[in-house]
Chain A
């Protein structure tokens, strides 16, 4: 099997020739390739060269194109002030977001009655005073063209690009950046009806952008970021009320288009895993970051979707190669039993991961990953 067939088989809950390998790559590409994070983020050509070198050297089947290290994408996609290495932060820092309340309570009504673009125009002009709708659209076109070209470079290198579009997540996730997370938590109690109405408008307006992007670049997976709507942050009943409608809308529409939703679940989702069991069988990917109990996830969701994860960042950065090998072996033997598993890191490889520990993941696949 080639990488493409291997990933497809895993998603279809069939048994591939071996467990696919697909760690999450962004800033570590700079560490590994000896460039600064500032260069990785500001120079698209150096970024894609670093991504392809890293993924090729470690024989990955699927890779992100360091999407989460692309300033244009982060700036246009996340309604919070982006701080960049080399500009606002030391040149080898990862980027970070400065969260302030750039959105007022009244702005929910802008989203509800006028839609996503007027809402973004209102909020983004407060975050970035120099940004206009016109400049944002020009930037978006440039970023989209660059990403499409990078996705093609990954395909040409014989690997599978992980996603054709990144959705920030449910509306609550998106709005929590604009409102600031403390205000968003207060709004859940004070203005749930506004969040419900805003969420409906958000999901209806954002999804066409995602589907259009995937139609253009041909990478038929859509990343759905899920962290602040997790049961680490909010009660499962609030998730069911305010977030699940978004997730159902996204998932069913995406699948109807023949595209695979990739749930990127950061923090501990153990208490909410059952909500994902309602989705069509063998059509989704569940990507876990090591805070969710992946062994429990296999029990709850193993018959529904492929599980992807979850070598912890503390392990790749701080522990020994043997410890990484041991954990990968356990994942392969237990989560990979009978298929339905993609070996990956728990969220992005940390900046300070040891190369020998990333190599251990590849070695673990060679040693224990083959099904026959």
Chain B
């Protein structure tokens, strides 16, 4: 390990941040062969993902590259998953719930957010698309998750967002959960109108919000 290990880990983070897929996997294999602790590997992959997020925020990377990085991350984590489990260090940063609201079946934005949250170490309960209020209520009750993400592309689904928040309130859960909204038709103003807690302009905002909640 030692110097080679450090060099490999730095190379891993850089190759990943540069979106060099094959090089990322090659260095990952060298790390595994050199018995690099899985937590260190995850840490450097996460650092690479943070860099991807930064480049996206600054306009150097685009949505397609965010998606691409998420797929590389997923493949890398799948490769070292047995090592993580063997080391008994698979604890997540926290659990939250995500869904595209009732009346809308668009899932691209939601899935990108989930990928980034997963990359950041969160466990996400994905309720899928066209999700009614009662399903959010049941899942909050069952999981105790303190954060719910509502996604939509359509202006016609704003009332669904409101219905979901009302359902959580009626079930006595509103004080126990924070609600973040996102999707291209949503806005800070909508957040205020429907009584949500956070508005995420893009997928990286969702990660920032989750880190704030689970800090």
Partner-B contacts on A (CB < 8 A)? 83, 89-90, 93-94, 96, 98-99, 181-182, 185-186, 188-190, 231-235, 238, 267, 291, 313-314, 317-318, 350-352
Contact = CB atoms under 8 A, between A and B. Distances in A.
A186 B68 contact: yes
Contacts of A235: 61-62, 64-65
Interface size band for B: 20 to 34
B64 A238 contact: yes
Given A185-B68, A235-B62, A314-B187, A90 B103 contact: yes
A232 B103 contact: no
Given A94-B156, A233-B63, A233-B64, A186 B71 contact: yes
B111 A182 contact: yes
A58 B126 CA distance: 43
Contacts of A291: 184
B122 to A, nearest CB: 20
Nearest to B104: A96
B68 A318 contact: no
B174 interface: no
B63 A232 contact: yes
Interface in B104-158: 104-108, 111, 154-156, 158
Nearest to B158: A318
B141 to A, nearest CB: 26
Contacts of B107: 99
Q: Quick one: which of B106, B184, B193 has the most chain A CB within 10 A?
A: B184
Given A93-B103, A291-B184, A185 B67 contact: yes
Contacts of A189: 19, 21, 68
A94 B62 contact: no
Nearest to B60: A235
Given A90-B103, A93-B103, A317 B64 contact: no
A96 B64 contact: no
A234 B172 CA distance: 43
Contacts, number: 70
A92 B104 CA distance: 12
B155 A318 contact: yes
Nearest to A239: B62
A86 to B, nearest CB: 14
A91 B63 CA distance: 33
A350 B71 contact: no
Query: 6 tightest A-B contacts by CB?
Result: A185-B64, A317-B155, A350-B155, A185-B67, A351-B156, A234-B64
A232 B68 CA distance: 14
Given A313-B155, A314-B187, A317-B155, A181 B62 contact: no
17 contacts: A89-B105, A90-B103, A96-B106, A181-B108, A185-B63, A185-B65, A186-B68, A189-B68, A234-B63, A234-B64, A238-B62, A238-B64, A267-B184, A291-B184, A350-B155, A352-B155, A352-B156
B2 to A, nearest CB: 33
Interface in B53-92: 61-65, 67-68, 71
A231 B193 CA distance: 30
- Best-buried of B108, B187, B193 by chain A (most CB within 10 Å): B108
A89 B190 CA distance: 25
Given A98-B105, A185-B64, A350-B155, 11 more contacts: A93-B103, A96-B105, A182-B111, A185-B68, A189-B68, A233-B64, A238-B64, A291-B184, A313-B185, A318-B158, A352-B155
Interface in B145-197: 154-156, 158, 184-185, 187, 190, 193
A94 to B, nearest CB: 7
Nearest to B61: A235
Nearest to A316: B155
A215 B111 CA distance: 43
Nearest to A235: B62
Given A90-B103, A96-B106, A98-B105, A233 B68 contact: no
B154 A233 contact: no
Nearest to A289: B184
Interface in B8-29: 19, 21
